[in-house]
Structure 1
Amino acid sequence: MKIFSFVLSVLRPVRFVILAFACTLLLLNNTLPAFAISSYQSHPTEGTTQLLETQRKTDEVAKSEPPKLKEVQEKSNKGLNEVQGDADINKMNRPENSQSATSVEENVQNFLEKVTGNK
C-alpha cells in the first residue's frame, strides 16, 4: 500500500501538467476555427455561369412539351448530353484524353512486382 501512495504522490504534479495541457488544447481547438472567417467569402449573388446556363436550359425543357428525337440527337451531338452541352468537358475523363492512364490491373501488377522483386 505504501508503494501505491508513493506513486500517487509522485504523479500529483504530473497530473496538473496533463490537465493544463488538456485545457489549453480544448481552448485552442475552439478558437482556431474562427480564423477561417478571414478567408475569401463569396457573395451570395455569385454563381457559376455554366451552372446557371444549364439550369436555364433545364427549366426551358421542363416547361415545354417533350422534345422530338431529332432535336435530342442534335443537341446531344454538340457535347456530353442534351442539357449540359460541352460544359466542363475538359475535366471529364474520356478515351481521347486518357491514353496515358494506367488501369487498376496494371497498378496492381506493378505493385506486386515491386513487392516480390520480380521485373
Structure 2
Amino acid sequence: MENTRKFFANIRPLQFLVAVFTCLTLLFSSAYPAFAIGSYKSTPSEGETSLNQIQKETDKVASSKAGNPDLEESQAKTRKGLNSVQGSADKNKMKRPSNSQSATTVQDKVEGFLENVTGN
C-alpha cells in the first residue's frame, strides 16, 4: 500500500503535464483554421462586383415574361464563361492546366519526402 502511494505521488506532476499538454493541443488545433484565414488578404467589396452582376442576371430572368431561357440562349451564355450564371467572373482565380504548370503534385511531394527520409 505504501509503494502505491509513493508511485502515485511521483506520477502526479507527470499527470499534470499531460493534462496541460492535452489542453494546449486542443486549444491550438481549434485555433489553427483561424490562422489560415489570415494568409489570404482581401477587401470586403472584392466579391461584391461579380455577385451584383449575377443578381442582375437573375432579376432579368425572373422578371422576363418569356419565363425560363431556352436551350440555345443558355448554351450561348455558357460558352462565354464558366457557366451560364457565373459567366467569366473569377475565371482568373480558377486552377486549370494553363496556369498550373509549375504546381507540385502530391506524388512529387511524397517522392521528395521519401528521398529526404531514406537519403537516396
When normalised by structure 2's length, the TM-score is: 0.53
Aligned counterparts, 1:1-119, within 5 A: 48-64=48-64, 65-118=67-120
- CA 1:63–1:115 in structure 2 vs 1: closer, same or farther (change >3 Å)? farther
Displacement of 1:58: 2.3
- Larger RCO (CA under 8 A, 6+ residues apart): 2
Displacement of 1:117: 1.1
Displacement of 1:75: 0.5
Deviation digits for residues 1-52 of structure 1, max 9, x if unmatched?
xxxxxxxxxxxxxxxxxxxxxxxxxxxxxxxxxxxxxxxxx79xxx722211
When normalised by structure 1's length, the TM-score is: 0.54
Extract structure 1 runs of 4+ deviating beyond 6 A.
Answer: none
- CA 1:112–1:59 in structure 2 vs 1: closer, same or farther (change >3 Å)? farther
In 2, distance between residues paired with 1:110 and 1:83? 42
In 2, distance between residues paired with 1:109 and 1:61? 52
**Max radius of gyration: which structure?**
1
> Which letter maps to 2:119?
G
RMSD of aligned residue pairs (Cα, Å): 2.2
Structure 2: which 5+ runs fail to align?
1-43
Number of matched residues? 74
Identity fraction in percent = 58
Deviation digits for residues 51-102 of structure 1, max 9, x if unmatched?
1111221233344422212111110111111111111111111111111112
In 2, distance between residues paired with 1:104 and 1:58? 40
In 1, distance between residues paired with 2:55 and 2:119? 54
